[in-house]
């Protein structure tokens, strides 16, 4: 048996229904004896379900940060091979030397497309990342090797070297030639892996290396031919391949002393059919030193049963007691205890995620359409009345309907969270549940708060939604793990804590709830204003350092919104000095977040103390780079929107305008609106998906304002039960 080894067994393009399964009895037993989970295979490439096969999944595994691939990424060879794609006149070793000026390892592997991979990542701001694992292993004195390929008759597909090559695109030991495969023209791809030969060569590599990547080839090769293979043939071929892979895994594991070694079974990418449905989760098994019986998790995913592909690099380095660079955003995988059949739990979780993705867009689009319709109706009625138009009986009824609809729809986000507490596999249950929950809770809030002017339905629903979210996060985030609210296929599985849509919901409901609960005391009592600010900053801390991980952009947005609200409700209001003070305070809070995260919380990259990097500056640089990178993506549309908002604000501030009057008569309400507008613009600038945060904040704010405008309309016109009996309506005063 080999001791103190790490083996990564690549079984590509499979999902949790394939592995573990009845076709893989050994791997099923391994998963039950050790740790099993699902890996989020998200990369820096745009993931549409039909994205090109650029090898980004393999680059990301070896980089520790989400990275990009390139069309040439699959071109890896033994130095003695003569690649046909380069004319066949020169060996791969000679080509490698001409590309890099470096000598190819005689018994190793060279990645001839590595320069293109690096160029692609330079454009993405992660040019330093590809080859990080291989480089750090070499620097730590750990010998690496790779063996196997996914070649077809049409092209070479040799992606596994990207997982363990150094930053020059070379692996010191390996064999990716056709020596471990055999022709089989009647099979998808035209080749089949020669598993006895692969096992023999793996044993040879383990004799001479500490870290070994073994590409079983079969499943990836078959899946890449799915477009040209019948469904029945594809299923039969995959079943047979899985049985062969299972036997190979059994024989390979017998070579390892799992008391000191580590075997990781990984599928870098999801099957083509799964990706088309938005499913980017693949199975992951870890057996050996450092792991026990249970579910896998990590500091980046913070969900039992889920890990990220960027977690593989720090896990491998931790096994060899090597330091992790501060720029790496992944975390070391670990085991958490779990009762029952863990493989069935993962399959149920994956099925629930699939059902959630399918149900999300129809429900979210319907909710958005209803919100838009309600807000348009409310604005039409209010501005008609503001211009002196008579409030007829029909318009009065429409105003009451718009106000009631606004309250009901304010309960919709909570229903989109609450439905996550249940399991479903189709559209019927979530649609009926969300519709019923929204109507019952919304009308219930309207009825229960009828005689409580301070705790009105908007305030009660906003406070309830915010409280549910905070409590859920404190107890593991079951509701936010499977949210219907959002637009991404990977909603709830991101690295950085709460999703941007949920952060926007928490910010908007918290500000509206606090402002409505305290009311005019915010203007009259400085202590109330300071208390409101303290509460909102605590919620900002929850966003920045919640148990689910940090959301730096969300934290910046929350702090900016809170401070803007604090200044807007003061007697002096905004001055040039105060605007500068708010900007400076937001910058200071961001710096404090980076410092506290780095030294104490260590949510993702903040591992300065434990990783032994001995340097604080690289971590700060990385986190600031993330924020600056986010700014660059949305800078132009954000500046356009900011300019439009500023121009509108100046136009509305002209003497005698509607909003000038509202600043005077409804200062708390208007200050709340203004602070959320400012916060939404900050969200757009400082978040890679800030449009989702802005959209949710705008939706909650629009519904709240619709309710208050309709209530004012009824109160000023004397509408209500008496108005319905009056054939003529009174004009708005």
pLDDT digits (tens, 9 = 90+) for 295-339: 999 888 778 899 999 999 999 999 999 998 877 888 899 999 998
Rounded mean pLDDT of 712-731?
A: 50
CB contact set of 410 (below 8 Å; sequence gap of 6+):
442, 457, 458, 461, 462, 700, 703, 704, 707
The whole domain housing 621 covers: 350-719
CB contact set of 526 (below 8 Å; sequence gap of 6+):
none
Are residues 324 and 435 located together in one domain of the fold? Answer: no
Sequence length of the chain is 733
Are residues 368 and 305 located together in one domain of the fold? Answer: no
Judge whether residue 499 has pLDDT over 90.
no
Dihedral pair phi/psi, residue 171, rounded to 5°: -115, 130
| Residue that is last in its domain, among 285, 311, 339 | 339
Label residue 490 by pLDDT band (50, 70, 90). low
Q: What is the CATH number of the domain that holds 314?
A: 3.40.720.10
Q: What is the largest CA-CA distance in the chain?
A: 96
Rounded mean pLDDT of 256-260?
A: 97
Rounded mean pLDDT of 370-388?
A: 86
pLDDT of amino acid 593 = 73
Are residues 400 and 318 located together in one domain of the fold? Answer: no
Are residues 322 and 356 located together in one domain of the fold? Answer: no
pLDDT of amino acid 635 = 55
In a domain, 179, yes or no: yes
Are residues 650 and 691 located together in one domain of the fold? Answer: yes
E strand or H helix at 39: strand 35-40
* Nearest Cα residue to 510 out of 456, 481, 470: 470
Burial call 336-369: b when 16+ CB within 10 Å, e when fewer: eebeeebbebbbebbbbbbbbbebbeebbeebee
Prior bond of 259 cis (ω within 30°): no
Are residues 303 and 423 located together in one domain of the fold? Answer: no
Long-range contacts of 661-664 (CB under 8 A, 24+ apart): none
In a domain, 76, yes or no: no
| Residue that is last in its domain, among 292, 310, 339 | 339
In a domain, 454, yes or no: yes
Rounded mean pLDDT of 449-468?
A: 87
| Residue that is last in its domain, among 339, 370, 391 | 339
pLDDT of amino acid 216 = 97
pLDDT of amino acid 662 = 72
Rounded mean pLDDT of 180-190?
A: 90
pLDDT of amino acid 562 = 95
**659 vs 489: CA distance, rounded Å:** 40
Global pTM value: 0.83
Judge whether residue 730 has pLDDT over 70.
no
Tokens representing 517 are 């609960």
In a domain, 110, yes or no: no
Burial call 531-553: b when 16+ CB within 10 Å, e when fewer: ebbebbbebbbbbbbbebbbbbb
Are residues 505 and 423 located together in one domain of the fold? Answer: yes
CB contact set of 20 (below 8 Å; sequence gap of 6+):
27, 28, 30, 31, 36, 283, 285, 343
Are residues 17 and 161 located together in one domain of the fold? Answer: yes
Judge whether residue 637 has pLDDT over 70.
no
- The CB-side HSE value for 236 (13 A sphere, CA atoms) comes to 7
Rounded mean pLDDT of 420-449?
A: 91
Q: How many structural domains does the chain have?
A: 2
Are residues 438 and 520 located together in one domain of the fold? Answer: yes
In a domain, 103, yes or no: no
Rounded mean pLDDT of 498-527?
A: 92
In a domain, 102, yes or no: no
Are residues 334 and 356 located together in one domain of the fold? Answer: no
Question: Taking a C-beta distance cutoff of 8 angstroms, is the pair 269, 278 a contact?
Answer: no
Are residues 300 and 358 located together in one domain of the fold? Answer: no
pLDDT of amino acid 497 = 67
Are residues 182 and 318 located together in one domain of the fold? Answer: yes
In a domain, 597, yes or no: yes
118-122, 585-589, 670-674: least confident range: 585-589
Judge whether residue 500 has pLDDT over 90.
no
**120 vs 110: CA distance, rounded Å:** 18
- Angle 552-568/667-686 helices, nearest 10 degrees? 150
In a domain, 732, yes or no: no
Dihedral pair phi/psi, residue 52, rounded to 5°: -65, 155
In sequence order, the β-bridge partners of residue 335 are 296
């Amino acid at each position: 048996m080999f001791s103190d080894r790490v083996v990564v067994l690549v079984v590509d393009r499979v999902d949790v229904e394939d592995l573990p399964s009845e076709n893989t009895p050994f791997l099923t037993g391994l998963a039950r004896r050790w740790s099993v989970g699902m890996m989020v295979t998200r990369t820096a490439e745009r993931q549409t379900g039909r994205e090109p096969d650029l090898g980004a999944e393999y680059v990301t595994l070896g980089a520790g940060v989400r990275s990009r691939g390139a069309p040439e990424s699959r071109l890896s060879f033994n130095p003695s091979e003569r690649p046909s794609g380069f004319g066949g006149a020169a060996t791969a070793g000679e080509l490698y030397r001409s590309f890099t000026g470096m000598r190819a390892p005689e018994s190793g592997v060279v990645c001839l497309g590595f320069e293109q991979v690096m160029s692609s990542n330079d454009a993405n701001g992660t040019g330093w990342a590809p080859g990080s694992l291989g480089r750090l292993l070499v620097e730590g004195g750990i010998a690496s090797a790779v063996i196997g390929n996914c070649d077809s008759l049409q092209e070479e597909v040799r992606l596994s070297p990207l997982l363990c090559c150094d930053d020059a695109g070379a692996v010191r030991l390996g064999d990716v030639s056709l020596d471990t495969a055999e022709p089989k023209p009647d099979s998808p791809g035209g080749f089949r892996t020669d598993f006895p030969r692969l096992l023999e060569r793996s044993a040879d590599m383990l004799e001479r290396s500490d870290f070994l990547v073994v590409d079983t080839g079969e499943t990836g090769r078959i899946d890449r031919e799915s477009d040209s293979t019948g469904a029945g043939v594809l299923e039969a071929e995959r079943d047979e391949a899985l049985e062969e892979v299972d036997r190979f895994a059994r024989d390979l594991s017998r070579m390892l002393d799992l008391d000191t070694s580590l075997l990781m079974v990984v599928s870098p990418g999801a099957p083509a059919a799964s990706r088309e449905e938005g499913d980017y989760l693949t199975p992951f098994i870890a057996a050996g030193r450092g792991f026990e019986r249970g579910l896998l998790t990590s500091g980046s995913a913070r969900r039992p049963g889920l890990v990220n592909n960027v977690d593989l690099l720090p896990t491998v380095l931790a096994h060899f007691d090597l330091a992790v660079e501060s720029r790496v955003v992944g975390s070391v995988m670990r085991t958490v205890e779990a009762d029952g059949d863990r493989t069935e739990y993962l399959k149920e979780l994956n099925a629930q995620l699939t059902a959630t993705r399918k149900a999300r867009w129809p429900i979210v689009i319907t909710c958005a359409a209803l919100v838009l319709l309600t807000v348009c109706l409310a604005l039409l009625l209010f501005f008609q009345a503001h211009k002196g138009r008579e409030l007829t009986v029909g318009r009065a009824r429409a105003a009451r309907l718009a106000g009631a609809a606004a309250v009901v729809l304010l309960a919709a986000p909570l229903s989109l969270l609450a439905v996550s507490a249940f399991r479903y596999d189709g559209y019927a249950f979530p649609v009926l549940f969300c519709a019923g929950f929204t109507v019952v809770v919304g009308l219930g809030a309207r009825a229960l708060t009828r005689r409580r002017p301070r705790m009105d339905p908007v305030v009660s629903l906003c406070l309830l939604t915010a409280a549910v979210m905070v409590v859920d996060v404190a107890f593991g985030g079951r509701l936010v793990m499977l949210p219907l609210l959002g637009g991404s296929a990977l909603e709830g599985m991101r690295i950085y804590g709460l999703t941007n849509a949920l952060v926007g919901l928490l910010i908007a409901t918290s500000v509206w709830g606090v402002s409505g609960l305290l009311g005019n005391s915010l203007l009259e009592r400085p202590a109330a204003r300071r208390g409101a600010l303290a509460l909102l900053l605590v919620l900002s801390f929850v966003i920045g350092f919640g148990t689910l991980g940090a959301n730096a952009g969300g934290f910046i947005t929350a702090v900016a919104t809170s401070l803007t609200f604090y200044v807007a409700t003061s007697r002096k209001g905004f001055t040039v000095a105060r605007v500068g003070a708010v900007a400076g305070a937001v910058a200071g809070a961001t710096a404090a977040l980076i410092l506290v995260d780095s030294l104490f919380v260590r949510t993702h990259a903040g591992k300065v103390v434990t990783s032994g990097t001995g340097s604080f500056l690289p971590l700060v640089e990385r986190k600031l780079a993330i924020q600056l990178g986010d700014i660059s993506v949305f800078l132009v549309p954000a500046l356009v929107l900011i300019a439009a908002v500023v121009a509108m604000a100046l136009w509305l501030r002209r003497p005698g305008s509607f909003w000038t009057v509202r600043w005077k008569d409804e200062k708390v309400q208007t200050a709340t609106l203004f602070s959320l507008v400012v916060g939404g613009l900050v969200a757009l600038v400082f978040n890679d998906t800030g449009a989702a945060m802005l959209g949710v904040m705008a939706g909650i704010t629009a519904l709240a304002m619709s309710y208050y405008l309709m209530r004012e309309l009824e109160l000023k016109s004397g509408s209500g039960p008496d108005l319905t009996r009056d054939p003529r309506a009174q004009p708005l005063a």
